[in-house]
Structure 1
Amino acid sequence: MTKEEYITQDFCEEKPVWRTGRMEYLTESTWYKKIEISCCDDRSATVLNRFFSYLNMEKLSPVDKLIKGQKRIMEKRLEKKHQREKSKIDQKMREVKKLPKNFMDWIDETAMAHSRYIYYQYSRKKYMDGYCTHCHSDVKVSGVKHRKIGVCPNCGKKVLFLAAGKATRILDHGEAVYFQKTKKGFVVRFFSIYKYYGKHYKMPEIRTLELKRIFYEDTKCLKYEWRNFKQTGEMRWCAGWDCYTFYDAACYTANLEKVLTGTPYQYCAIKQFADRYEGAGVNVPYYLLRYGSKPFIEYMVKAGLNHMVEELTQPWYFFGEYNQNGKNLLEVLGVTREQFRFIQQNDMYSFEFRTYKKMLSQKNCKIPEDFRSFCQQYERDISLILELMEYTTLHKVERYCSQQTTEKQPYFAVMQLWRDYLRFAVKLGYNMKNSFVLFPKRLIQAHDDAADAVRKMEEKELREKMKLENERAKSLLEQYRKIYSWTDGKLSVVVPEDLFSIREEGHNLHHCVANYTHDVAEGKTIILFIRRNAEPTKSFYTMEVMDKNIKQCQGFGHCEQTEEVKNFVNAY
């Protein structure tokens, strides 16, 4: 062992083994059982004391000095390793240049566009004194209320009115992103912003924290975050982290075209997307990631489909409704030019787009003029309303449902009831173009009558089907009767008379044997009854035999076999 490194010889194995583990970790000590290590002789203690004299820890035992010495060596090794990592990171960080002089002005003006207020001094006068935090002007306001949205009479910007006496402390948060050119590509810098309005609301405090940097170099993506380095307590840039999320960050666009020129993202249209409105949020990492594999995002942005792009650039989104192999936007969306213009005019969200395509696939389904309001109103029940619109117009659907709505049957409950009634009517072969059929005056009564008629019809169809199957099963059951009938004097195995008796058996014992009639008719399985000889007509247990093996034997409500039945089945 030296002051720079050490090895330990372990005699626990058959052959001595040299290890690099620390002495304190080579013993099997636990919190409830600690193994003490001590020197075998005085000579060993003397050697250890002499060797570790540089520690200046005379009070420690020789073994503790050994452990301390090993720990110091490991700490120095770790420090050198950390220093190499930090030097590499620092070298990378030197590529990052200073922020432009107008960056903080842009933060206040654009990135924090949602943090605009007019503080007013409440009075009973018609015009009250106010102050706009955006244009930094004294204004006169009238007819305003605390926390109501309005417009500044001076700068014309959207603001929130605050009574100065009520809003003494306001803390707003925002996110910002800044692109910078580097030697091998560009770096994206992420800032978390806090703006605090106190009693002196005319001089709010703005604090920015740069928490993340992502270097884009061709196909490489190097991520760094400002955090506790290796749990050492030192706050600095750390490599390989990707924990901070910036899903809705305002993007500084003044230099974007210059930065992205000559990179794979030159035509990604992120500048146009970030400028769609003042302070618009962008999920930059996912935007660039999606663009790499889904370049049609560029066409969507340029076509003004911003809501779709907002959703496409989120980590939770999937691309089920888009043809990713489409050569143009019409092929990607799977629509005609006329349909595309309607999508473009409404700047549809993905949900609205899916709804629109469903409506296009339905016959005689008219698209509502106020399409967004329609989607918002029926968002949770869109399949329901679309099914009703297969038979009539939206206007008539809403009018009829409103007429049928009561306290006990609210609007959407009426829609569901009506949908079920219409399904029954189709099964019964009613004329669905007849208004008397479509719009029954007493919906609940019509629903119940139709449901009863469908039940009877299905029961009749089932009986007819079972009759045909029963004819096929008669010969099989006759053969089974000769083979499988047996008794021990107390219990008997009885072959069913027909398929109807199997169905009745299931009803009597409250289990699912009634569903086996088709398989019995096909010869796929054999159903047998176990009866008490004293009560030969009363259902007791049901047994299934397949491939000459007893598959199951159950009684009332799927109950297990009693000892008596088990012995009988084993004997059988």
Structure 2
Amino acid sequence: MQIDYKNAKALPLDVRFPNNFEAWVNDETPIGIIYNRWKKRAHCSHCGHTWDYTETIRKDDAVYCPHCGTLEIAIPHTAHPVSSYRNFFWMWLDGESIYCVAAHSKWYNAEKNIDEIKDNMYLTIDLIGCIKPDKQYAYRYIYDWKTDKRRWEKTTRMHVENHDYYSIDANINAVIEESFLKHMDIWFDHYYPNAAYWLNYLIDEMAFCARNPNVEYIKKAGLGELVECKLRKIPTFLRPNWKAKTVPQLLRLSAQDVDKLRQWEYLTVDGILRYKILKKKQNKVKKEHMKLCKQWIPDAKEFYQDYGMYGISGFAQIVRERPLKVLHYAEKQYQHNHDRNRIKFLYSDYYHQFKELEYPEDDYYLYPKNLEEAHDRISREYLDKQSEIKQRKREKQQREYEDNYLPALEKYAYEDSEYLIRPLRDFKDFENEGRNNKNCVVSYYARASKGKTAVFVMRRINEPNTSFVTIELRSDHNDHRVSQCFGTGNRMPAQEVRKWVNEWLENIVEPRSKKRSRKGAA
């Protein structure tokens, strides 16, 4: 099939195509076999062969072409239009320049007469990238909204479009091995499930290595993970100096430190981070310190991840403040309780409560002999203190409620021969009403104490202490309205109850508010 190169005449760079390029595009592009079920005629768009068939062909069947042996999906000739596409990626080397190209093919057929089918294949080049030791750039084929035309634009963004599937030239690894990046240990696996993502990673890695030649030594030192984390934006918290010319300078360590970590077999991203944390608080770090730290904190990134003080990772936050003392203390506790996770949780919880209670920061309190007993004791003290704080807060809320808002609400209290209505007067009142009437009215206490809402209870006159209906009264600019009126379990009350509440609102609540409004207006 002949290929029409859509934008090949105005390319900003000379593009080299792989050997047997058109055959590659033709083979990889999904192209259907068109059939006419009435005439029993079929056409293969790969080789252009048309033949008669006798067997039954249905839509979406997999059919072999008898001429070229291609297996394709069967498409009825009445399907209009028929089209498909595929993305392609290839590279070539020109001196010290690595060029990469992303393009897409499109096949379509709109003819209904099997014997007159004209297969059409178009190829559009989307991206041309260039990677040199001194610069990296790309040309993208974009649509210009101002001129309503497509044009080439020079850019530093070299990523391919994130389509689901790319057909990739098998020689791209050979191109890298012959280029100036041959010592950078760059390799592309053609079996990656998301080819577009890993193609972009390949492009990023080549550009990064071209800008930073010292990456060669980093990878040879077994620290290729640093490069991967950098390109994939995964934090390592090491802050490497990529412009440095030696491995120690890049890691911001001395040559002796790097040799020491290599001898200890801790020259990894995790080991370097752990070593830096220990050395910040401890001048001399030994191999047993590193081993102990790894036993208690398997992932060194926990030192920088904020999980709060109540989780196992809160233990890492404490270790960062007092590394060796906390680790030795935890190891000593481990001799009595062989559960590292429980010890970490208990000590994290204990330390948090210890800080809240403002105990002296000496070894007696920081490292209790029996962690279980110390944790239980300090937890009781902590809960007592929290209860005391809550009680003081509630008393303050109650004083504010009684001084500023409750007296005005008491004026709306009313009763007749059948029902009474009154405001809830304190937290205990709110709590009992919520428990007895099976609702969440206790959560309204804080807002009611600040005058943001008002809560009343309606009771039968012969059962004044039995919950019946809970009512929320809202006011906006002296206009009052009942926003909630529910019985037990937030059920709708009877019609006569609702009518009684409305009459209370109109006759008891509203006249006073209207009187105040008229007085204010005068």
Distance change >3 Å, CA 392–CA 291, structure 1 → 2? same
Greater relative contact order (CA < 8 Å, ≥ 6 in sequence): 2
CA distance in 2, matches of 1:425, 1:507: 35
Letter in 2 for 1:306: G
- Deviations 1:340-373, CA, capped at 9 Å, x for gaps: 9968955544x77777787789899989435994
SS in 1 for 2:384: helix
What is residue 226 of structure 2 aligned with on the other side? 308
CA–CA separation in structure 2 for the residues paired with 1:569 and 1:360: 72
What corresponds to 2:331 in structure 1?
399
Paired with 2:458 and 2:300, the residues of 1 have a C-alpha distance of 55
Alignment partner, residue 429 of structure 2: 501
2-side partners of 1:511 and 1:554: how far apart?
Answer: 9
Does the C-alpha gap of structure 1 residues 479 and 540 become closer, same or farther in structure 2, counting only changes over 3 Å? same
Distance (Å, rounded) in 2 between the aligned partners of 1:83 and 1:97: 15
Contact between 1:96 and 1:187, CA under 8 Å: does it hold in 2?
no
1:430 maps to a residue whose letter is Y
1:466 is aligned to 2:394:
yes
Deviation at 1:243, TM superposition (A): 1.8
**Aligned counterpart, 1:181:** 93
1:286 equivalent among 193, 196, 201 = 201
- The question of 1:219 aligning with 2:138 is answered yes
Residue in 2 that maps onto 1:560: 491
TM-score (norm 1): 0.47
Partner Cα distance (2:330, 2:167) in 1: 43
Instruction: Please state how far the C-alpha of 1:532 moved relative to its aligned partner.
Output: 2.9
1:84 maps to 2:1: no
Secondary structure, aligned partner of 1:484? coil
Given that residues 528 and 542 in structure 1 are in contact (C-alpha distance below 8 angstroms), is that contact kept between their aligned partners in structure 2?
Answer: yes
* Distance 1:377-1:555 versus aligned 2 partners, 3 A rule: farther
Alpha-carbon distance between aligned partners in 2 of 1:568 and 1:274, rounded to the nearest angstrom: 84
The one of 533, 545, 549 equivalent to 2:481 is 549
Where does structure 1 lack aligned partners over 5 or more consecutive residues?
Answer: 1-78, 99-176, 191-212, 223-238, 258-269
Residue 431 (structure 1) aligned to one of 360, 383, 391: 360
Question: Aligned-pair distance for 1:219?
Answer: 0.7
Distance 1:290 1:416, change over 3 A: same
Answer whether contact 2:18 2:90 (CA < 8 A) is retained.
Answer: no
Name structure 2 gaps, 5 residues minimum: 21-88, 103-125, 131-136, 142-160, 304-312, 506-522
Q: CA deviation at 1:472?
A: 2.0
SS of the residue aligned with 2:335?
Answer: helix
**1:412 shift after superposition:** 0.7
In structure 1, how many angstroms separate the alpha carbons of the residues matched to 2:19 and 2:267?
38
Structure 2 partner of 1:369? 290
The count of aligned residue pairs is 346
Give the distance between the partners of 2:414 and 2:18, measured in 1 at CA: 91
Q: Is the 8 A contact 1:179 1:256 kept in 2?
A: no
Amino acid corresponding to residue 434 of structure 1 in structure 2: D
Q: Deviations over 1:212-247 (max 9, x none)?
A: x9853541379xxxxxxxxxxxxxxxx99662599x
2:122 alignment counterpart: none
Q: 1:435 to 1:501 in 2, by over 3 A?
A: same
The alpha carbon displacement at 1:396 in A equals 1.6
Cα displacement (A) at 1:521: 2.7
Residue equivalent to 1:384: 314
- Provide the rounded CA distance (Å) in 2 between the counterparts of 1:529 and 1:297: 74
- 1: CA distance, partners of 2:337 / 2:430: 45
CA deviation profile, 1:388-417 (whole Å, cap 9, x unmatched): 4245625324413413425xxx32123212
8 A Cα contact 2:410 2:422, kept in partner: no
Alpha-carbon separation, structure 2, partners of 1:420 and 1:450: 10
- Structure 1 position 526, deviation (Å): 1.7
2:168 matches 1:255? no
Q: Which residue of 1 aligns with 2:445?
A: 517
Residue 290 of structure 2 aligns with an amino acid whose one-letter code is E
How far apart, in 2, do the equivalents of 1:546 and 1:339 lie? Answer: 69
